[in-house]
Structures are given as C-alpha cells and as structure tokens.
Structure 1
C-alpha cells in the first residue's frame, strides 16, 4: 500500500488529481457530504470523457444541512449514464463523508479527507486529503468498499421529482438564512477587508509624512466607498464633503456612510438639484450643484474632501472647486486613472497612491467573484489565419454562420451558469455581428438584444434593467465595446467571448463586467471560443495577470492552467486551443519590432486612437503592454515613439543630442531597483540644490525606515562617482556636489528651463516610482536592497549593496562580493560557446536545495572558501541569483533573486561543490518555470 497527502498548492490540487484519475480509472465512486455547481462545473469535462469512454461511475451526496446545491444535482442528473444517489439526512443522523474511490484492473485508489465538491475545496481551500493506493482484496480496501456500499443502499436515487422537492426546501432555508443575516447586520460590526486595511495604513503613513492628498485606484465593486468611510471614521473630521458627478452614486455613498457611522455625533445632508442641506456636518454633493454654490463656503470649511470617480477631476467644474477648498486632507477614488488632455489624475493628487488594486489583486483579496474560464476550440470550417485586427468586417462575416451559433449554444448548455436566470453578455466583432447573434439566439429560444454606441443611453439602461430583472425573459445582451468599462451589471453570470482576443486590456475590461459580487452568484462562467487566429496567444497574456512577463513564464502558465492565479479561479483550455497557443508562443518573437509595434498599436486603439505620449499612460490600464520593452528596443521611449509615429515635434526633441543623452540616463534606470535616485531627481525638477536631510525626506515618500548611508550612496551615484570613464562620456551628469549639497549641473539647468524637456523627464521618473510602488508597496529600506523573486542584472547588486567602486566592475565569474555580502550568479542552462564552466553542475535539487560549484580557482582552504563555508559564524551573507537562459531571442536575460542561502556541505577543490539550503523555498510555479522545458 502506498499513501500520500494531497493539498491545494500551486499546480497540485485535488481537482487535478480527480481529473487525472477519472481519465485513467476503469470505474469511480464518489461519496461527499455536499456538491455545489461551482465544483461540479469544474468536473464536467472529465466526467463527460469518462462516460464517453464507457467508464461506470457513481456519485453519492446528501441533503446534510441543505448545503447541496439543487443546480448541481440537476446537472449531474443530466448525465444519463451516471448513477447518482442522495443520502437524506435528518436531525438525528448527519452525513459528513468525503471519499473518492477509483477502481483499476488490479488495485484501488482511495482518497479520504476534507474536500467536498466545491470550487474552493477542489482548488484553493486549506484541505487535507489522504490518497491510498492498494491491491484489491486488502482488508482496508474491503472495509471502505463495504461501508460505501451500505451508504449507497441507504440512499435515494436522484430523480427530477426529488430535485424539485429538495429545491423548494433549499430555497426556504436560504430565504430564512438571508433574513437572519439582515437582522444581525450593524455598522458597528463591519470591519475593513484586506484592501481597505492596506489603504488605510498607507493613508495614515502619507499623512505622517505631511501629505494632504492621496489617490485610491480600485475596480468597481471592490469597496472604495466603504474604505473612504472607514478612513473618515478614523480621522473624525468635523466637516466632510463627498463629491461625485452622478446622483445615483451619491445616494449609495450617503447610505454607506450613514450605515457605518450610525450613532456617531454627526449629521448627513445632500446637495443636489432638489436638496440643499448645506448645514449638515457631512455633505454629499454632485459636482454640478456644488459648482454653482461653492463660493458660499469658506476655503477651510471642510476638513476632509472625497472626490469619487476622480478621473473626472481634471474637468473645469472640478478644478474650480478643488482650487477653492483647502481641506486638511483630500482623497480621490477611481477605477480608471486615465489621463485627460490637460492633467493627470496622479498629478492632481500629488502622486500619492494609497493603494492600487487591479483585477488579480481583487481576486486575491476576495473583492470580486472568481471566474471559471473555458477556452473552447471554435467550430470547424472557420479560417481566420490570414486576417489581422484591421480586418474586422471580414472576421465578423466569417463568424456569422449557423454552425457556430449551434456550437456556442451547445457549450452554453454544457457548462451552464449559476443563478435562477441566465444573465449573459456576449462580446462581438462588429455591430452587425452583435445583431446577428441576438437574432439567432432569440430564434433558438434564448431572448436576446444587441446594443451599440448608436443606441441612446435610455435604451441601454432599459435593456440592462431587463437583463437584471429575474422575471424578464431577456437572457443575453450582445455588444461590441460599450460594455468594456464603466457599466455596472452585478448579476451577470455568463460572459461569452465571441471575437478573437486582440488586446489584453479589452479582454480584462470585458471579463470585469461579470465579476461584481451579487447574492445569487458565487462565480462567473466565461466561455471563450478560440479560432485559428494568428494572434490567439494574446488570450494567454490577458489571463496571465502578470504585467511583466517573458515567453517561458507564459508557456508554463498555459501548460499549468494558470495555476498561479489566486483563489478558486479556474482556467481550462481544451487540448487543441492549448496546443495552438503554445505553438504561437514558441514562434512569436516578443522582442521583434513587428511584435512591439503591433502591441503599441493595439494599445493606441484602446485609447481611441490617441498616441500614448507618456509612460504613465501605460500605468493606468490593467493589461497594458510593458513599455520597458519599447525602451530596451529603441534606447528610450521617445525614440520608440518616433519610429512608430513619425511626429515632427518628436523629431525636434530627438535632434537635441545632449538632451537625448540625459533622457537616456533616466530611461536606463527603469525599471527602478530602488527608488532613492528617482525620488531625489524629482525634487531637482523644482529645486536647484538639495541637502542630505531633504533627500531622506524625498525617499521616505516611497519607502519606510530610510537609511542615510543608502541615500548618500544614491546621491553619489547621481554625480557619477561610481561610473567608469566611458560611461561618463556617454552620459552627462545631471547633478554634482557643492559645499555639502547636491546641486544641478549646467546640463540639468538647461533642461529644467524648458517645460517640454521637464515634462518628458518627469514622466520617466514618475513612471519608475509608481511602478516600483505598485510592485513593492511601502517596503522598508535594507542593505542590500534586494527583493526575492525580482529580476536583476549583475551590476544591480553593486548599486543595491552600496558598492563604492566602479559599478561596471561587478561582472564576470558569477561570484561577486561587497563587504560581508557574497552574490552568486548562475545560468541554469549553459551555453557551450560562452560558458567555459559548461561541465560544472549548478542546479536545483528541489524547491529548498541548490547545488552550486564555485569558480574553478577556489579551494576550500582559501579565505573566500572559508568565509562561504563558515558564513554564519563569520557574519557573511550568501545571495543566490539564477536565470534559466543567458539569452532569449538575442536578448540578455536578467537573473531572478532567490534569496539568501545557507551552506550545508562543501566538497572537493578547484572547484568546490556546495550544497545549499534556501531560506525561502522556491514557489512551485517558478520552480517549474526554471527547471522544466515546455
């Protein structure tokens, strides 16, 4: 008998074990206390294939505590060749079994543990399940089968009449539970969620630094209004103003504050076209009404002002109000921090971002519902391989065939949806395509409508209200782009991707339309019909959720079903779609100008044709391309822009060779490995000279516990103290020391005198700082300033350990040192033409252990050898950096910092072979990415 413990961890989940076992077994027998549709849907394909292959199966569940979902029972009942029974419990006899039995020719696999059939139990919950594999006729196996058989005989066969009766009981219990929940709700017992807690901590930190403004960026439905109310509850302003442009949002915001701050000694009022309650302590106003009367208030009337939907704050009405009032603190909240033609939302709030929550953070924090994504190979006979994103009409024409409609409807029926009524959004290629789909669905018994930008707002609102109404027959709305953002339909339970994915941004926006929490929805079903389109691989970028990626990480993500995505999210592609996407990823050159230009143009299209002239434009969109790849290709973002846009004003900027060199100095800093230098340079855009104490305060804006020695090192770095002669020739110094202060050089003085030059330089610095903050949060200063899992070049270790000699000398052997820090740089896959140490073995033994061979001139008895072997007692730190390949697509690859390692054993000489334990184990998915070839 063999046994092992099954837990949900990365790529290893109970779901994966069950689906693999259903594929290989001869018979299967499940006995679980309850089944939910969220779990059954994940097993549908595996169950279907098992039954099609002639495998016999039994599933036994129960009515225990009325947890079993009648929708799940009905879906299981639809499998005509699957035997399903229900153990009916009563007050004297419960049913809490969780058993999965698989029969093979000579043995049984038995899984017993804690997991029922729900998506959380199968994928993400902390669950312990023991798997036992034993020969047939073993005492333990016989006992399990006997007990299962007794329960099976004592259970009721599943019938439609049983489901109907149970459904009435289930709904009655659910209504009673909902009533109890409403009775118990009280603002005094509501506590902040994880997002709100992080935001409040950062808001408090910014206020301690003397900041008076801050911005919160989070998707619709993630709790921004409650977060603002919690912060107001903490700050206790005497008077507060909440401003927004829509009255329906205003009413909900007031209700939220009243609910959370009930029994507090403050009054609440509204300022709208019909209500003028301006004497209230906390006023909720629409901007139109406030713009008419704001001069009646003194500038310091309000201690705290909230601007909801803050991306509108660059408009004239908002600007007049913002300039008038001088509150102690101003909070901006937005889901889409897009830049207007005049002002950036980030600028309006002094570049203070308390928190930024995009889709995958929202999933991790349970702020939105998880989704079950099914990538389905499109119907045979549709060939899109010769078309591009510019051929929209032809793509739509080829997709408008009856067999595809039947194909879509088949899979809609197979995978189903959660809720009493199907509430679907279908995203199409063109308006004509949307109308075609609506007509075809309606003709087949699924009442549908097509909406477009040509429809009046009233018509759209009426259609949305019909879809949300459980008693209205309307089941599906088809559109092109109007539902991508800014539309809130919480009860949507099905999203149909009926167009080739051309932009990860648009895909994420469309997916987001169904992720709003709703009482009748535990998860969202997403059906994506993937054709043989030349850029089908873009769906992998959209689902990946990593803003910064490479080909290898994407291939591993696809191969593992995107197992790195948090929570009970399920992403499943059929084998044909998966193979197609993997092949495209293998063939695509991510660093070619053609690929980069295509990514840029798609991003420009999302911005309605407006060129993204600022790096910060990329920071505002979830799923935007990584502009660092553009910089790496062309030297600077400005030069890349000129290659694709050919604007005359860009040509004028590029013609200034000295300025371009200075701009390139800043561009080369990206992505920032520490914020010190950039934070100091931002100050120099407005100040001629800076003392060390001022520089420390500038860095404190971005990290905590700032070290003075690191700030001084950063100031010296900016003066080119650690640059070699060739670097000094290529890159002009922007600052220099004079009488104990850092001051602008003549080059810097020249540039800050030009508003255009200053704007371009400020954009690079601000993008670098906001990207750093997004990646690391309010991290603490440390030496060396390294973060596990982050990518670095060799030279970065010199900067981040305050190396005080030429930083370009940090290269070569793979073992570099600065004081008590040793840095080990390893290529896991050697290149025989480059690496003379090809015969030496550097490899992960497992997630916890690394085997490393020293440079071939090291002996154990040498000073360095002894320092490494006895590093703990001698106070040395060993830092491990690895990369899978030295180059990919002719691009030198960075190393990934794996953290500190401790020597367990050292053997041999010339070289010395070390066995080391990592202080932090390598995450399973990263381990697979580094060690496997996909």
Structure 2
C-alpha cells in the first residue's frame, strides 16, 4: 500500500519520519542535502536510537555545496551511525536522491520523494513523498537496497580531513559570489512584505475616508520602519518629521528611509548634536523636538511619524503632536501597552493600520523560524509544594549545580544556527541571574547578566559584545527587561530557565530572538519544563486563540503543532503527557483560572487599571470575553477579583449595571452598526439615519439603509422579549425617525467614570469587530466564512423584524429563502442533539439528519432535499461540543451547502456537500478525538 505524504496543517514529513525512527530495527538515509536546520529536528530521535543500539547509515553529497559541515560533524557524534559523502564534483553528475529506508521484523518501510534533511523540507515546503511497505523478498526492495549499496561503495568516509577541506572550500566560495547590478542599489530589490502590503492598503483606505491618523501594531522585526518609508514614498509629503524615543535607532531609521524614498527628498538629523534644518525629511529625538518645536511653523510638516508610539501619551510627545497641524500622523509600535493610564488607540482616532501578532509574523515568514524543545527538568527540581508566584522560593529550588550541568549539556547537544552561540537566558530573579552567570563562567562559557537597575551603558556594552562574532561573550542572563523593546537581531538561542506563568510573557521572551539576521537560519529555544501545575500555559501560548476549544489544543500538542508555519515544536514525552493531562483537568472558565490570568496580565501592564482595550493586541493569548461571560459585565468581573472598594460601589448602582450589561452582552459584536451609533451618542444627544450613514462610512465599504433602521429598532429593544426588557436598561428612544438618549443614559454619561466604562466597552467592540471583519460587505445575511456565531446572532444578521429570542431552537431555522442548520458533532447524553446523526465524511461532505417530524413531502422537507432546484440557501453552522467546561460553545459558519443525497422519512437522512471545503486543520479538529 502506498501513502502520499505532504506538509499540511495536520501533519508533515517530519512527523512521519519520527514515527518510523521510533520503532525501526535499522535505518538508511540517502539524501542530496543535509542542513543543520533539519538535522537538529532529528537529534532527540537519533539519540534514542543510539541508546537502543539501533544502527544507521547516512549518505549525502557535496552537490551544489548545499550540505553543511556543522550537520555532518553532528552526525559523526553518534556512535551508531555510519556517514559517507558522495562527491559530485568528481563525477560531474547531479546527486538528487531522497530516500529514507527503515527495516522492521517482517517488512521494510520506505519514504521516497522530494524531501532533503532541511527544516523547510520537513515541515513547510511543498513536498511530495510516497511511503511504501515492502516485504523482505520483494523485487522492488532488492532494487532499492542494491542501488543504495552501489552508491555507498563509491562514496567517501566523512573523515575529519575531508570535512576540513570541504569547509575550507565552502568558505572560499562565499567570497566568489557572482556580481549583480542589483547589489549596487539595494533599493531596487526591496519589496513590501505581507504585513506592509496589508497596512499600506489600509492606510490608503483610511485616507480615502478622510482619516488623518493611524497606528501600526506589529511584532518586533516585521518591518514597521520600512512600512512607514513605503507609505511616505506613495504619499510624497513635502516635509516629514520622524520622531523616536531613543537616539540609538535614529540613524537606522534614516538609513531605512534613504533606501526606499525618492532621491529628490533629502534626509537629515535633528538631535542635541546635529540640526540639519535644510533637509526635507527630519529624523528627531523626542527630547530635542519637545524643547525646540516652537521654532517650526505649525504646518511645517505634512506627515509626522511616531516610532515606539506606546510612549505617545507622555507630555513630551503630546505637546509636539498638539502643536503641529499635520496632514497625516502615523504611529509605529510593537505593543499597545498604555503608558500613564491613557489609551494609545485614542491618540490615533482608533484607526489601526495593522495588528500583526507573533503568530501572524511566523505564518507569513516575517521573522526567523524557531525550533522549540520542551525538555523535562531534572528530577531534583520539584515544584509540587511551591507557589510559583513566589520568586525567592523558585530561585532557591533552581540554583542547583546539577541543573547547570544539565542545561549546558542540552545547549551543546542541540547546538545553534551560526558560527558563534548568542544566547538570551530568562531567569526567575536577580539572585538566579547572578548564580547562573557565575556557574557558566566557571564552566568556561563566557556570560554576564543584565537587570533593570543596570546603566544604559552597561546594557549597550553587553549587547555589543554578544553581537560581536570575535568577542567571547556567549550568554546574557536576565529577568524581564528583555521581554519588550530591546533588540538583539543576532540572538540564535533562547533559554527559558523559569516556570511559565503567563502565555504573554512566554511569547514576548520568545520574540526576542526572532528578528531576521544574516546567517541565522533559525532560533533554537530550550524550555526546561518542570512538574509545576502551570506547564499547560506553554501550549496555550504556542497554540494561540485560533482554536475551537481545549480539545483543539490537545490535538496541537499531540501533532507537535504541525499546523504552525515556519516553526518546529517538540516536547519530550514526559512534558507532553503532563501538559495534556493538565489541559484535560483545567477548567478554563473557573474563576480561579480567570483571576490568575487577569492578575498576570495586570502585572505585565505594571499593575495599572486594566481596560478592555488593553487586551486587544493580546487576544491571541488572553481574551476578556471569558471574564464578561463569568460576571455579566467586565466591570463586575473587576469588582469581583479586585480588592477595590470604589469598583464595588460602582457595581451597586443597579441602573448603571443594567446599562453596561446590555452593552457587554452584545460582545463580541457581529455587525458594527449598533456600536458605532452608541459611540456617537456618547457625545451627542440624538442621531438620525443620515448621520448614521455618514459615520458608518469609516467602518464599512458598503452601508445598508435597511440595516440602519433595523439597528435603530434593535437598540430601541423592539426585538427583545420580556425577560430581556427587564434585564437591560433602555439606552435610547426611537421616535420621529431618530434615536435620542433616554434620560437615564444621559444622566449616567455626566459621570466621567461611567462614561469611560461605556466608552471602553464600545471601543473594544468596534475595534475587535474591525480586526475580525474589516470593512468588507458580507451581504444579507451578514455572515463571514469560518467566523463563530450563535442562533440569536442570525436573527440580527438577517434583519429579522420580530422578537429575536424566537429565532432559536432545534438547530433548524429559516428566514425567507435562507435555511440555517446548526449542527452538533459530538453527542451529549440526554441532549436533543443525541437523536441526530451528523458526521463529516470528507472535507466537503457530511451527513445531516433533519428533525424527527420532518417528512419529504412537507414544505420544509421538500426545500431541504431539493434546495438547489428551489434556490434555497442552506447555511451550515457546526460545533464539535455543545458545552466545554460547562460553557455553551459557539458554532463555526462553514458557508453554503447543497443536498446531494437523501433517504428516509421523519427524519430525513441527507448527505450535504459544502461549497467551500474545510481546511485540513479544521477537518481534523472536527473529526479527531484525543484520548
């Protein structure tokens, strides 16, 4: 039997290779190229085979000089593996073979195809490989083994003498690169990347809508400065002001612009030492500009750019921004963390040009790929009786000589990309840093430590020494100062030497090594996972929020996160089982878990008051909707978890609580109309259809007048049942074709605290909507493919003009020529859905059983089985589980389907075919069950 193996969202060539290595009796690799990036992914398996005494042969070549010497040297460390090299230069014949041969008791299993031993071939490239099984007497197998034997016998042993000659040749070759005209002017080859293209289009759209401000949020290393330069090149302002927070990045920013912009525009510096006022584009430090801005005319600059824009609310920035009357203001930042308690978003009119998280950056190859190894800590490190929030306790447990030896052993085993090892190691405390640095130096590994109380000059000296290939410094130990903002592009190794207590901090620390850098193919991440009860947070950090439920996280862990692009993640079996068990047992909706995650996030924000907008950039790892779901409104959650009498007093105001519950109950919004209208009413007494049409233009490419009227009626509670009317405060009255605020709502808005809470919820709702739906028109019903919905959402999104709570029930809803099928895949005992037979047969075909009372000759039955002929649209919504951790789950919209087969009566059993097939990942999540 033959099997096709490709790299996709659910598996990859590497996973198949590892599975065969685990159980084989012997193995042969016959490949054209071996890179260290690929070999590193096999090191754990090769070590296990060495310990078991399983023999192997590896044959590779010097063809195109692509095989790396460091990879060959690493293979030679394994006593169970013979290594030979086919020298292509002698025969002048290309060596292209890719074969992996595994011997078992009865058979051989062979992988033949296109994959060399490289990380990209193992996981991300478009590769086709065939897995075939042959009995030992098969003619095909004999041909394969005989062909390999002939190649093996005509190849050279990989002696140290051979490797030295090959290494010398490769180094000389690097200096003989072919001359290219494009090398003279690198600007000819600079093209915008995925993030920049997205942001440039959004900036263009914003300007068309007469917006004059925008904020670009993107992970470090994704090219924010180049984004600004590309936009400036398009806009061609006569004069530009680029303001930075730190002088050490000023010259780099200027150089980046000079590579991109039209040569007719000159660039100059405006600092304490240099004031090149005659230049078109000025690059200034905020310190200098804030002292001298009044020497300029207010309209001197057509375009102003603020780098590290999360500092923008400070006095030095605000007085500069408020002074100038610029045509466009652009902010650039990697974090939305508010400074001084003020919202960064508000400064830029809540216009987000892009919001690129680390996961987005990895998926789109904007940063260096990483290889993550989750390694079980040494047995003597025992967290079982320790509170991991107590830093000194943890430091005491971790300061062990044996653990230092273990860390060094693993660093040497996994090695790194590049000639010099450059490491950032995250410790638990100052004491832990000092201890680790001291121990590493004793072992001959040059190291230092950096803490928040170190001078800037000491930091800069340490970073410079680490980056310098000729300097002996290899490791910088630190606590949290490298989480954000400090940039060392050449880092090739990150050590996680402390228990993970927050997915956000984990991702921030990981991000320190992901900036692209010459000769750095990948980042090595070694995470020493102890037996603490928060190990599962690593899985949450790596999986992100793009999962259906906790079962999805478990599938990702089992598959070694095959769905993540440009990433290799491997946890040893002990760590993997510990994490899977913790995910199973953890209730992600329990107040204890929610409270812990809230306080960790608050700590990241330096213990300032946390608003809903603060979560927006971090929702991939922490979503506040769970807090709202638990407590009915965000402010009530805060009053529950915070020891704050002021918050508790606010929540005693029953009228206010009924008002904020109404707004928070609508989150996450699935259409933006109601919230844009409410945002306008925060500062205005009334709104009519004409004004609504105008203000919605900022958020939507196409505005539906009927939907405006429907949203007016919705806000007027015309579609609420009696229970909803009594539960929520009425905020508006709809009379004479316009909405006016109720007296109660108007009175509450006079209270600045209340107004700020309303504003926070409404802005969060709108900006979250923009991230998910952008400004696109999805028609009526207003449904986006693969977004999550509940039954009540559908009534609103169809402009259903009756009580919406009637628009729910058995999972079969209809409105005019639209049928909405809500399907549960996993059957819960005693639930209504357990009576229905629903299952996926393939990525685009599934079975669906109607209600027990539906007959083929009934109106609904006829429309269901003949939907295409009768122009009936079947909208499909699916969820795997009705509830997880006692919380009702949303349905994922899979688009339209058509009935292709049916049988039976009362109920009718149908087979439906989706117009848009599922992705591999979604299909696996819907169909796979983790034990």
What is the TM-score with the length of structure 1 in the denominator? 0.97
Aligned-partner SS, 2:241: strand
Alpha-carbon distance change, 630 to 128 in structure 1, aligned in 2, over 3 angstroms = same
| CA 216–848 in structure 1, closer or farther in 2 if over 3 Å, else same | same
Contact 1:678 1:769 (8 Å CA) reproduced: yes
1:32, distance to aligned residue in structure 2 (A): 1.2
Cα separation, 2, equivalents of 1:698 and 1:178? 57
CA distance in 1, matches of 2:704, 2:179: 55
| 2:701 aligned with 1:704 | yes
Aligned equivalent of 2:257: 257
Match status 1:876 vs 2:872? yes
Q: Name the counterpart of 1:349.
A: 348
Are the aligned partners of 2:341 and 2:609 in contact in 1 as well (CA < 8 Å)? no
Match of 1:604 in 2: 602
Q: Which whole-Å CA distance do the structure 2 matches of 1:164 and 1:485 have between them?
A: 41
Q: 1:160 to 1:417 in 2, by over 3 A?
A: same
How far 1:178 sits from its partner (Å)?
9.0
Instruction: Give the aligned partner of residue 21 of structure 1.
Output: 20
Q: Give the C-alpha shift of residue 769 in structure 1.
A: 1.7
Offset of residue 471 of structure 1: 1.0
Deviation at residue 51 of structure 1 after TM alignment:
3.0
Structure 1 residues 50-129: aligned runs within 5 Å: 50-90=49-89, 92-129=92-129
Give the CA deviation at 1:775: 2.7
CA spacing shift, 1:291–1:190, aligned 2, 3 Å = same
- 2:336–2:344 Cα contact (<8 Å) kept: yes
Secondary structure, counterpart of 2:250 in structure 1: helix
Between 554-563 and 5-14, report the one with greater CA deviation.
554-563
1:904 is matched with which residue?
A: 900
Q: Residues 136-166 of structure 1: CA distance to partner in whole angstroms, max 9, x if unpaired?
A: 3433333222222222122111122222221
Do residues 464 (structure 1) and 463 (structure 2) align? Answer: yes
CA distance in 2 between partners of 1:650 and 1:337 (Å): 24
Q: 1:781 and 1:924, CA in 2 relative to 1: closer, same or farther beyond 3 A?
A: closer
The answer (yes or no) to whether the contact 1:561–1:571 under 8 Å persists in 2 is yes
Aligned to 1:139: 139
Deviation at 1:738, TM superposition (A): 2.6
- 1:370-381 mapped onto 2 (5 Å cutoff): 370-381=369-380
2:489 and 2:515 in contact (8 A); partners too: yes
Instruction: Quote how far apart the aligned CAs of 1:181 are.
Output: 9.0
Question: C-alpha deviations, 1:75-120, integer Å up to 9, x for none?
Answer: 1111121011111122832212222222233333222222111111
Q: Is the 8 A contact 2:545 2:621 kept in 1?
A: no
The verdict on how the C-alpha distance between 1:162 and 1:700 changes in structure 2, with shifts beyond 3 A counting, is farther
Counterpart position of 1:365:
364
Deviates more, 1:179-188 or 1:250-259: 179-188
- Structure 2 residue matching 1:655: 3-state secondary structure: coil
Alpha carbon RMSD of aligned pairs, Å?
Answer: 1.8
Which residue pairs with 2:323 in the alignment?
A: 324
Distance 1:57 1:179 in 2: 42
Deviations along 1:608-648, whole A, 9 cap, x unmatched?
23231x11122244765221111111111111111111322
Distance, in Å, in 2 between the alignment partners of 1:772 and 1:385 is 42
Equivalents in 2 of 1:448, 1:182: separation in Å? 40
CA–CA distance in structure 1, aligned partners of residues 521 and 481 of structure 2: 25
Q: 1:623 & 1:462 partners in 2: Cα distance?
A: 35
Q: Secondary structure at the residue paired with 2:176?
A: helix
Does the Cα contact within 8 Å between 1:824 and 1:879 map onto a contact in 2?
yes
* Helix, strand or coil at the partner of 2:825: strand
Shift of 1:547: 6.6
Match among 712, 715, 718 for residue 712 of structure 2: 715
Preserved CA contact (<8 Å) 2:355 2:617 = no
Counterparts of 2:160 and 2:710, CA distance in 1? 75
Q: CA deviation at 1:389?
A: 2.8
The number of residues matched between the two structures is 929
**Residues 322 and 162 of structure 1: is their aligned pair in 2 closer, same or farther, counting only changes over 3 Å?**
same
* Aligned CA distance change for structure 1 residues 123 and 809 (closer, same or farther; 3 Å): same
Structure 1 distance, partners of 2:866, 2:70, is: 63
Q: Is the 8 A contact 1:336 1:621 kept in 2?
A: no
* Residue pairs, 1:633-644, within 5 angstroms: 633-644=630-641
- 1:351-430 map, 5 Å: 351-430=350-429
Contact 1:382-1:399 at 8 Å conserved across structures: yes
The residue aligned with 2:571 is 573
Query: Residues 545 and 845 from structure 1, CA distance in 2 versus in 1: closer, same or farther, beyond 3 angstroms?
Result: same
Q: Measure, in 2, the Cα distance between the counterparts of 1:416 and 1:622.
A: 34
Distance 1:182 1:66, change over 3 A: farther
Q: Does the aligned pair in 2 maintain the 1:434–1:450 contact within 8 Å? A: yes
Looking at structure 2, the residues matched to 485 and 598 of structure 1 have their Cα atoms a distance apart, in angstroms, of 22
- Taking structure 1 as reference, are residues 181 and 933 closer, same or farther at Cα in structure 2, changes over 3 Å only? farther
Matches within 5 A, 1:195-210: 195-210=195-210
Equivalent in 763, 768, 774 of residue 777 of structure 1: 774
The 1-side partners of 2:798 and 2:727 are apart by: 25
Structure 1 range deviating more: 249-258 or 882-891: 882-891
Q: Which runs of 5+ in 2 are unaligned?
A: none
| SS in structure 2 of the partner of residue 885 of structure 1 | coil
The equivalent residue for 2:921 is 925
More displaced, 241-250 or 306-315?
241-250
Q: Per the alignment, do residues 342 and 135 of structure 1 end up closer, same or farther by CA in structure 2, a change over 3 Å counting?
A: closer
**Equivalent in the alignment of 1:481:** 480
2:161 is the counterpart of 1:165: no
Bigger mean CA offset, 212-221 vs 869-878: 869-878
The alpha-carbon deviation at position 711 of structure 1 amounts to: 2.9
- Residue 226 of structure 1 aligns to a residue whose secondary structure is helix
**Whole-angstrom distance in 2 between the partners of 1:363 and 1:537:** 21
Deviation at 1:195, TM superposition (A): 0.7
Q: Secondary structure at the match of 2:284?
A: strand
Which secondary structure state, in structure 1, belongs to the residue aligned with residue 576 of structure 2?
Answer: helix
Residue 492 (structure 1) aligned with residue 488 (structure 2): no
Q: Secondary structure at the match of 1:214?
A: strand
Query: Gaps (5+ residues) in structure 1?
Result: none
Aligned counterparts of 1:623 and 1:409: Cα–Cα separation in 2 = 33
Q: Quote the offset at 1:729 in angstroms.
A: 1.9
Correspondence list, 1:534-553, <5 A: 534-546=533-545, 550-553=549-552
The whole-number CA distance in structure 1 between the counterparts of 2:270 and 2:183 is 31
Q: Which residue of 1 aligns with 2:847?
A: 851
| More displaced stretch, 854-863 vs 48-57 | 48-57
Tell me if structure 1 keeps the 8 A contact 2:876–2:896. yes
Distance 1:630 1:181 in 2: 58
Is the CA contact (8 Å cut-off) linking 1:102 and 1:110 kept in structure 2?
yes
Deviations 1:14-34 (A, max 9, x none): 111111111232222111111
Q: In structure 1, which of residues 740, 745, 760 is the aligned counterpart of residue 742 of structure 2?
A: 745
Contact 1:213 1:330 in 2 (8 A): yes
Q: Deviations over 1:870-889 (max 9, x none)?
A: 21222211112222222222
Q: Which shows bigger deviation, 538-547 or 377-386?
A: 538-547
Q: Secondary structure at the match of 1:258?
A: helix
Match of 2:807 in 1: 810
Secondary structure of 1:450's partner? strand
Shift of residue 180 of structure 1?
5.3
Contact 1:64/1:94 (CA < 8 Å) preserved in 2? yes
Paired position in structure 2 for 1:649: 646
| Deviation, structure 1 residue 187 | 1.2
Partners of 2:710 and 2:604 in 1: how far apart? 42
In structure 2, relative to structure 1, the CA distance for the partners of 1:171 and 1:736 (3 Å cut) is: farther
User: Which range moves more in the overlay, 135-144 or 250-259?
Assistant: 135-144
Q: Distance in 1 between matches of 2:635 and 2:383?
A: 35
Q: More displaced, 756-765 or 451-460?
A: 451-460
Match for residue 672 of structure 1?
Answer: 669
What is the alpha-carbon distance in structure 1 between the residues aligned to residue 505 and residue 350 of structure 2? 26
Task: State the distance in 1 between where 2:870 and 2:697 align.
Answer: 33
Q: Secondary structure at the match of 1:874?
A: coil
Q: Summarize the Cα distance change of 1:499–1:149 in structure 2 as closer, same or farther, 3 Å threshold.
A: same
SS at match of 1:331: strand
TM-score (norm 2): 0.97
CA distance in 1 between partners of 2:647 and 2:529 (Å): 39
CA offset at residue 123 of structure 1?
A: 0.4
Q: Deviations over 1:159-202 (max 9, x none)?
A: 22222221122222234349759825431332111110000000
